[in-house]
Structure 1
Amino acid sequence: MTHDHLDTPVRAVSRPFGRVLTAMVTPFSPDGALDLDGAARLAEHLVTEQGNDALVVNGTTGESPTTTDAEKERLIRTVVETVGDRARVVAGVGTNDTRHTIELAAAAEKAGAHGLLVVTPYYNKPPQAGLLRHFTAVADATGLPVMLYDIPHRAGVPIETETLVRLAEHGRIVAVKDAKGDLTATSWVISRSDLAYYSGEDALTLPALAVGAVGVVGTSTHFSGVDTKRMIEAYDVGDTATALALHSRLLPLFTGIFRTQGTILVKAGLAAQGLPAGPVRSPLVDATEDQVAQLRADCAAAGLPLPE
C-alpha cells in the first residue's frame, strides 16, 4: 500500500545562520601578535570567494584558548566591520566558567556580533543540571541568538537529549553545532524540538542533512565552502545524486583537514594560497613539510588543489 503524503506534518526548516559557516582561524603576525588586517582580508575571502553565510570567530579553530579577552573583542569588531553587512558573525564565548562566559557574551554583543557559539564547559565535567543552568544563564545575559556546541570528545561530557530538548524551550537558544557523532541522538532532538542543527563534523554534513540538519560549521570550508554549499543546496532540492557525488569528491579534504589539529593544517593551506594565517600559538605547533605535502594530496584528491 502506498501513500501520496505523510500524516505527520513536515518540519519547517529554519536556518538562523544560513547553510555554510566556517570556524575561522585567527591570523597572527610572524611574531605571534594578533593580525587584524589579516583577519579582515581572510573574512572577506571566506565570504566573497568561499560563499560563507556566516563566520564563527573566537572558536577553538580560532585558537580561543590562547587569545585574550581584549583580543577576542577586537577580532569580533574587525570581522563585523568587514563583512557584517553580508554575513552573520557568530562569536565563540564558551568557557568552563559561567561568569566568564557571560562576560565574553556581553562583550561580543557590544562588539556587534550577530550570535553566540557556546561550547559545553570542558574539563570540570558538570552534570546535566549544571549544563542546563550554565547555558540558560548565558542565553539570559544578552539579546543574541545562541548556538550550543555539543562536542563531548573535547568537553568530556555530552549535552544529553533531554537537556537539549529543555534548552530548546529558551527563546534565544536556536541552534546546535553538533560534533557528537551520534546521528540517532541528533535525530531524537530534531524530532522533539525546533533547534536548527549544524553539523560540527565536515564529513557528516550530508548524513546529518538526511536526519534534518540544516547546514555545517566547517573547518575544511576555508577551502571547500563553495562546493559544500552546492552539496547542501543540491540536497535541499532533492538532487541527492549530486549531493552524494560532491560529498564523495570532498571527502578526502573533509577528513584530511583533521589528520592533525585542524587549525594547524588550515593555516598551512591558507599560507600556500597567499592568504593571511601566520603561525599558530603554543601549545600548537606549525605543520611539518610532510603534513603540508599530505594536505596538498588531500586537496588535490578533493578537486581543490593548492597552488604550487
Structure 2
Amino acid sequence: MTHDHGAARRPFGRVITAMVTPFRPDGSLDADGAQTLAAHLVDVQRNDALVLSGTGGESPTTTEAEKETLIRVVREAVGDRAQIIAGVGTNDTAHTVELARAAEKAGANGLLVVTPYYNRPPQSGVARHFSTVADATGLPVMLYDIPHRAGIPIATETLLRVAEHPNIVAVKDAKGDLAATSEVLARTDLAYYSGEDAATLPWLSIGAAGVVGTSTHFVGAQTLELITAFERGDVAGALRLHRQLLPIYTGIFRTAGTILVKAGLNAQGLPAGPVRSPLVDATEDETAQLRADCLAAGVELAA
C-alpha cells in the first residue's frame, strides 16, 4: 500500500529538543530549573515539544520519582504551549511498561521508546517489545532507532509491521539509512524525525517531519526557520541555514551532547548544573571550543 501524504505528518510538531535535566550543585534534581529551562526552550527557542528523560536527559542516572517529578513540573511550566514526550525505553519490556504508565499518569503527551539495548533481541522480540509498550497506555509512541547505542537496528520489516499499531505514530531516526527510511515513509503513515541535528535538511527532502535535536537548546528557533524555509519551497534558503548552523549541529557532539549542552547553558546563565557520573563536566578547553562552534554558527554563548 502506498501512502500519499502531500505534506509530512507531524504528530509532535517540527522542532523537538531532547532536554537536559537540570541538577543543583549538589547533584539533586533542580525542579525549578527544569521549569525555567523548559519555558525558555518553548518560548525563546520555539520548540513544539520536549523530550524529557531521554539519554540526553541523563535518564540512566535519574530515579523513577525524579522522572515523574520532571514531567509534572514541566507540564506546569509549559501548559499547552508544547507537548511533553517522556523517554521510557529500557532493555526490559516489563520495566518500560511501568515507566510508560507512570509517564501517562504524570501528564506526558507521548512516549519515546528506544530499541532494547545491550541484550540484542531478535527482530521478533523488538517488535513484541514495542507493541507491548504501545498497548500499555493510550499515548502516541515515537520509536527511537539508534543502532550505535542500542547495538541493533530496527529492521525495515519490523518498522512496517509495528506501524500497523494505532499508537505507534513516529520514529526518531539516528540510523541514517535514507533508502530504507524512504521505503518506510512510502509504505506507512509513520512520521519521521531526524535524530541527528546535521541530518535534518536531507531528512526533510525525503518526507521527514522535523528533528529531535540537541543543539536546538541553542538554535531551536533557527532550526525551525530552516524547516519552514524548506516547506515553503525555499530550498536555497534552507541550505544556507543548514550550512550556517553546521558548526553547532556537529560541534555539540564533540563529546557527549549532554556534557556540552550543560556547559553552554551554564555559560548562558540558564539552569543546567553539573552532570551525574559516569558523565563528567566539560573542561575549560571543551567549553571554549563550544563557544567557538556556536560563534561560527552565529550564536554567542553569553549570559
User: TM over 0.5, yes or no?
Assistant: yes
Aligned match for 1:209, one of 204, 210, 232? 204
8 Å Cα contact 2:196/2:213 also seen in 1: yes
Aligned match for 2:236, one of 220, 238, 241? 241
Q: Which runs of 4+ in 1 moved over 3 A?
A: 8-12
Task: Tell me the SS of whatever aligns to 2:170.
Answer: strand
Where in structure 2 are the equivalents of 1:121-200 lying within 5 Å? 121-200=116-195
**What is residue 76 of structure 1 aligned with on the other side?**
71
Aligned match for 1:40, one of 18, 35, 42? 35
Residue 10 to residue 102, structure 1, CA distance change in 2 (3 Å): closer
Where in structure 2 are the equivalents of 1:212-231 lying within 5 Å? 212-231=207-226
Q: Structure 1 regions of 5+ residues with no counterpart?
A: 1-7
Shift of 1:12: 4.6
Task: Tell me the SS of whatever aligns to 1:61.
Answer: helix
Structure 1: distance between partners of 2:7 and 2:32: 40
Structure 2: distance between partners of 1:143 and 1:83: 21
Structure 1: distance between partners of 2:295 and 2:273: 23
Structure 1: distance between partners of 2:7 and 2:163: 15
User: What TM-score, normalized by structure 2, do the two folds share?
Assistant: 0.98
Shift of 1:184: 1.4
Q: Structure 2 regions of 5+ residues with no counterpart?
A: none
Moved more, 29-38 or 186-195: 186-195
Moved more, 128-137 or 186-195: 186-195
Shift of 1:307: 1.3
Deviation string 1:139-160 (CA, Å, 9 cap, x unpaired) is 0000000000000000000000
Shift of 1:11: 3.9
Deviation string 1:101-153 (CA, Å, 9 cap, x unpaired) is 00000000000000000000100011100000000000000000000000000
User: What TM-score, normalized by structure 1, do the two folds share?
Assistant: 0.96
Shift of 1:14: 1.1
Task: Tell me the SS of whatever aligns to 2:86.
Answer: strand
- Asked if 1:118 is matched to 2:113, the reply is yes
- Asked if 1:286 is matched to 2:273, the reply is no
Structure 2: distance between partners of 1:102 and 1:297: 42
User: How many matched pairs?
Assistant: 302
- Asked if 1:21 is matched to 2:16, the reply is yes
Structure 1: distance between partners of 2:23 and 2:48: 24
